[in-house]
Amino acid sequence: MHAEEPAAAPDQAVSCALCGATSPSLPLGWATAVERGRTVHHCEQCSRAHVRSMEAKLDSDYWDT
């Protein structure tokens, strides 16, 4: 079993793994996932655009951009 990187604390700055959007804290509406053993965040716009791929657990390398 791999040790997972802890999710961002509510008061820790985060950035979207797809578009690079940043936020001073983890806002509601952002998605959090573990890919290849590291925690990644996706902003609300990217989450909405790629929700089908996320639900299918498709590797983000194959998402349509």
In a domain, 52, yes or no: yes
Instruction: Find the radius of gyration of the CA atoms of the chain.
Output: 12
CA dist., res. 14 & res. 35, Å (int): 16
What is the residue range of 47's domain?
Answer: 14-59
In a domain, 9, yes or no: no
CA dist., res. 51 & res. 10, Å (int): 23
Percent of the chain residues past pLDDT 90, beyond the cut = 35
Percent of the chain residues past pLDDT 70, beyond the cut = 72
In a domain, 4, yes or no: no
Average pLDDT of the residues in 46-58: 81
Average pLDDT of the residues in 40-52: 90
* pLDDT at residue 1 tops 50: no
- Taken as a whole, the chain contains a residue count of 65
In a domain, 41, yes or no: yes
pTM to 2 decimal places: 0.70
Looking at the structure of the chain, the number of domains it has is 1
CA dist., res. 24 & res. 34, Å (int): 20
In a domain, 49, yes or no: yes
